[in-house]
Amino acid sequence: MDSENFREKFNQHLLHPWGDLSTIGEDDHSSVIVKGDGVYIFDAEGNRLLDGPAGMWCMQTGYGRREIADAVAEQIMNLSYATSFSVINNREVQLAQRIAEQTPGDLNRIFFTTGGSTSVDSALRLCQLASNIQGKPHRKHILTREKAYHGSTFLSASVTGKERDKSAMDTIKEGIHFLSAPCHFYHPEFATEEAFCDFLIEELEQKILDVGADNIMCFIAEPILASGGVIVPPANYNQRCWQTVKKHGITYIADEVVTGFGRLGHWFASEAVFGVVPDMIIFAKGVTSGYIPMGGYAVSETFLASFSGDNADGCLYSNGYTWGGSPVACAAALTSWDIIERENLLSHVHQIGPYFQQQLRTLKDIPLVGDVRGQGLMAAVEMTIEGRNEEDLLAKDYAIGDMVDQHCQQLGLLVRPFINICIISPPLIITRQQVDELVSTLRLGLELTLKDLREQGIWID
Ligand SMILES: Cc1ncc(COP(=O)(O)O)c(C=O)c1O
């Protein structure tokens, strides 16, 4: 079957995440992907696309790894399933031990889930349980940020701050507090990043005062806000937030679903990059190089001890998933881990990351490009037609990401469009030559988009 046939059946039968309900069943352009190899994916006609977003920030070791396939096949034949509700499996133990060795501080206990959302949900529910056991049922307020993305379960979506995602879907409003997104680009009124950072910390302090430290269950934060537009916070922001919330005895949760497993050149970025030792770290995606769904969190022994053992008050952590700790997912994760180690992919990210960032920044000479930002192997190219205030961005730039994406797909590059932003986070194995290919194709896609905008009279020189 060719792409058109697949698309026709897709239009009849599928609903995709974040699907636009007004155009449901009308897709006439999305690539139909049938194969992957290294950093490339291929459509049904055999056209090759460089996978800019690495699937969805997850294909750390790239596509088509025979070694992972063999390990998964062997695991399926040996033990395809074991329920963590009643037995221990050898693979979950091996993986948990490796993760615990890499997490900072005393984050030595691991809970496995099926992905990022279920990990966020499970971590927040553990914190709720802690408050209840400790006789503080009022301590349930959550601090989060605008433009944060934490997932799609009811609770993880409720702590998500991406304005578009709030459209008409229900979320919990009570007790969830959104602080400003730490993006200096959106706040040119602050002359320096330092001044902006001071403002953000004062805002956090004020919020803690207003809500009352004793009512606040946790602060949840991605070290770099990924899906909200690769927002790299001002220097020291993460550490200052952590110090502030810890001063008030509030639990700090780092959502490392994207920043973990090598994207910033470390197994976990919290301490290594940002000098933060959280109480909990959430991971998913890259843990299996995207080959099998899996997620989880690491929790600090100190935090856990405050409501377990003699302090447990007879309570259970009644939360878990059929496929949490699946031996097959763990086998994929262990093999991906072996590859990352053997091929020195963490040091590769340290070497290629600065080159990737520097090359992407050369795109700033295109008038349509308002900002290029990022760190390690995660980046965003933000297109701006005019003005920088959010209303303008949403009203006028809404379709630009899609326009660039469509041109790039024709040219052999997949980018992840988000409103007026293209998100790029390639597999960790990307080479300098492939970075050059990515950037030159993106340049062409941006120039063609600018040409379209000029022809449509939207862009006026
Ligand atoms: C930071 C972060 N947290 C949580 C999630 C949710 O993960 P999942 O889609 O695996 O449920 C995502 C997904 O993009 C994410 O980027």
Q: Is the pLDDT of residue 145 over 70?
A: yes
Q: Is residue 302's pLDDT more than 50?
A: yes
Report pLDDT digits (tens) over 106-142. 999 999 999 999 999 999 999 999 999 999 999 999 9
Q: Determine the distance separating the centroid of ligand 1 and the alpha carbon of 256, expressed in angstroms.
A: 9
For 377-404, what is the mean pLDDT? 73
Delimit the domains of the chain by residue range: 31-61+344-455, 68-341
120 lines ligand 1 (CB under 6 A): yes
Model pLDDT for residues 1-48, shown as the tens digit of each residue: 799 999 999 999 999 998 889 999 999 988 999 999 999 999 999 999
pLDDT in tens, 262-282: 999 999 999 999 999 999 999
Q: What local confidence, expressed as pLDDT, does residue 86 receive?
A: 96
pTM (two decimals): 0.96
Sign of CA dihedral 41, 45, 48, 51: negative
Q: Could you give the C-alpha distances from 5 to 1, 19, 32, 49, 301, in angstroms and in order? A: 6, 20, 10, 20, 54
Is any ligand 1 atom within 6 A of the Cβ of residue 434?
A: no
Ligand 1 centroid from CA 117, angstroms: 6
CA angle 440, 444, 450 (to 5 degrees): 140
Non-local (6+) Cβ contacts of 77 within 8 A are: none
Task: Tell me how far apart the alpha carbons of residues 377 and 429 are, in angstroms, rounded to a whole number.
Answer: 10
Over residues 426-434, the mean pLDDT reads 98
Classify the C-alpha dihedral 154-100-112-306 as positive or negative: negative
Q: Is the CB of 258 under 6 A from ligand 1?
A: yes
* Cβ-based burial of 137 (10 A; exposed 0-12, middle 13-18, buried ≥19): exposed
Task: Assess contact for 295 and 112: CB atoms under 8 A.
Answer: yes
Whether residue 116 has its Cβ less than 6 Å from ligand 1: yes
Is ligand 1 within 6 A of the CB of residue 255?
yes
* 3-state SS, residue 54: helix
High-pLDDT (> 70) share of the chain, % = 97
Any atom of ligand 1 within 6 Å of the Cβ of 121: no
Is the CB of residue 284 below 6 angstroms from any atom belonging to ligand 1?
Answer: yes
Instruction: Indicate which residue's Cα is closest to atom 3 of ligand 1.
Output: 150
Fold (CATH) for 31-61+344-455: Aspartate Aminotransferase, domain 1 (3.90.1150)
Question: Do the domains at 31-61+344-455 and 68-341 have one common CATH topology?
Answer: no
pLDDT per residue over 151-202, tens digit each? 999 999 999 997 766 578 999 999 999 999 999 999 999 999 999 999 999 9
Q: Which residues is 424 bridged to in the sheet? A: 379
pLDDT in the model for residue 395? 46
Q: What is the whole-number distance in angstroms between the Cα of residue 218 and the centre of ligand 1?
A: 18
Strand partners, 218: 142, 251
Instruction: Please tell me what DSSP assigns to residue 234.
Output: P
Give percent of the chain with pLDDT exceeding 90.
89
Please tell me if the CB atom of residue 58 comes closer than 6 angstroms to any atom of ligand 1.
no
For every residue of 279-321, DSSP letters joined together read SEEEE-GGGGTTSS--EEEEE-HHHHHTTSGGGSTT-------
User: What is the Cα–Cα distance from 147 to 222, expressed in whole angstroms?
Assistant: 10
Q: Are strands 369-375 and 378-383 parallel, antiparallel or unpaired?
A: antiparallel
What are the C-alpha distances in Å from 142 to residues 35, 111, 236, 356? 42, 21, 22, 36
Can you read off the two tokens belonging to residue 11? 């239009």
- Cα 68 to chain centroid, rounded: 23
Q: Regarding the domain delimited by 68-341, which CATH topology (the fold level of the hierarchy) does it fall under?
A: Aspartate Aminotransferase; domain 2 (3.40.640)
pLDDT at 388: 45
Instruction: Determine the average pLDDT of the residues in 453-460.
Output: 82
Q: Tell me, what amino acid is at 169?
A: M
- Give per-residue burial for 55-92: e unless 16+ CB within 10 Å, then b: bbbbbbbbbebeebeebbeebeeeeeebebeeeebebb
SS3 content of the chain, % helix, strand, coil (to 5): 45, 15, 40
Report whether residue 257 contacts ligand 1, using a CB cutoff of 6 Å: yes
From residue 113, how far is each of 108, 126, 290 by CA, in Å? 16, 13, 14
Could you tell me where the beta strands, DSSP code E, fall in 169-316?
176-179, 216-221, 251-255, 280-283, 295-299
Q: Greater confidence, 459 or 241? A: 241
Residue-level pLDDT at 398: 63
pLDDT tens column, 220-265 = 999 999 999 999 999 999 999 999 999 999 999 999 999 999 999 9
Ligand 1 contact via 117 beta carbon (within 6 Å): yes
Taking the CA of residue 227 as reference, the ligand 1 atom at the shortest distance is 16
Ligand 1 close to Cβ of residue 150 (< 6 A): yes
Residue 400 has pLDDT above 90, yes or no: no
Q: What is the pLDDT of residues 66-115, one digit of tens each?
A: 999 999 999 999 999 999 999 999 999 999 999 999 999 999 999 999 99
Ligand 1 pocket check for 271: Cβ under 6 Å: no
User: 54 CB less than 6 Å from ligand 1?
Assistant: no
206 CA from centroid of ligand 1 (Å)? 29
Q: How many residues does the chain have?
A: 461
Pocket test for ligand 1, best of 114, 149, 270 (most atoms within 8 A of CB): 149
What pLDDT was estimated at residue 320? 98
DSSP-derived secondary structure for 108-119: -EEEEESSHHHH
Average predicted confidence (pLDDT) for the chain: 95
Atom of ligand 1 nearest to the CA of 115: 10
